Amino acid sequence: MVRPIAFLAGLGFVFVLLFSLVTGAVAYISEPPAKTAEHEFHLHPKEVSFASDGPLGKFDRQQLQRGFQVYKEVCSACHSLHQVAFRDLKDLGFTDAEVKAIAKNWATEVPSINPETGEPATRKGTPADKIPAPYANEVAARAANNNALPPDLSLMAKARHDGGAYIYSLLTGYQDQPAELLKHFPDAKTPASLHYNPYFANLNLAMPPPLAADGQVTYADGTKSTVDQMAKDVSAFLIWTAEPKLEKRHATGIAVLGFLLIATILAYLSYRNIWAGIKH
């Protein structure tokens, strides 16, 4: 008795599934979804390459230091790096003395407690501290940014599809709204408080162009700081903040593949030797 009931229940489930599939397909064909400005004008990230790309990729330390400089002088005014400590910057090629100086001279001091009064206080940063956020809390961040909350950038390259390419495209993608968009979607005009960028999901974002002109940052290594160069450098830096162990992971992967290759060859030779004298 149980088997027929189970069979009928399964048959009913299949029928409902097929019915839903057919009715959904008919509805889609007869009344296709209306086109939106986001669907028509949103662009995929630009083609850009980084030294860390691919299974053998390695970070360019000079580029990472330039990217950190762009973050420090431009991005850190609004965006935090909650997952990065000052001491982690040694991986970029900074010396211990340089890391100590960076932590001590950071624009925002580290939240602390006054040991004498127990009241909240601030102090100079040390290498052991995480890079402090530019705002005390979310309320202060929204108040300073027209109610928009600047996201933390620590894992941004992992949180967005195409990672570094997306960040680079967003930073270099600000432009005026195309006339074609306003012609077909007059209601999609970018509000005065927002900025048009076709690489952003809904085309409009609250962040004004952070890299507004060439020479905005004076690189310590003498590299010409064009908008394109600064965007590439800070994108590479944010790839590192999201995957600081990328080089070690690549090296481990190559070692494991080499081990598996040698083990496969040894296993094959052992097989040939063991079964050599046995005829089928």
Break the chain into its structural domains and give their ranges: 37-60+70-76+153-243, 245-274
Tens digits of residue pLDDT in 99-114 = 999 999 998 888 888 8
Q: Does residue 75 have a known ligand-binding role?
A: yes
Q: Does residue 207 have a known ligand-binding role?
A: yes
Question: Could you tell me which residue, 26 or 92, shows the higher pLDDT?
Answer: 92
Q: Are 103 and 126 in contact (CB under 8 A)?
A: yes
Cα–Cα dist 60/141, whole Å: 33
Query: What pLDDT sits at residue 134?
Result: 94
Q: pTM for the whole thing?
A: 0.84
Cα–Cα dist 98/61, whole Å: 15
Tens digits of residue pLDDT in 171-223 = 999 999 999 988 888 888 999 989 999 999 999 999 999 999 999 999 999 99
Cα–Cα dist 102/125, whole Å: 8
Q: What is the mean pLDDT of the chain?
A: 90
CATH class belonging to 37-60+70-76+153-243:
mainly alpha
Cα–Cα dist 110/41, whole Å: 43
Residue 135's identity, in one-letter code, is Y
Q: Are 188 and 203 in contact (CB under 8 A)?
A: yes
Determine the Cα angle at 162 with ends 161 and 163, to 5°. 90
Task: Kindly compute the dihedral angle of the four CA atoms of residues 172, 175, 179, 180, in this order, to the nearest 10 degrees.
Answer: 20
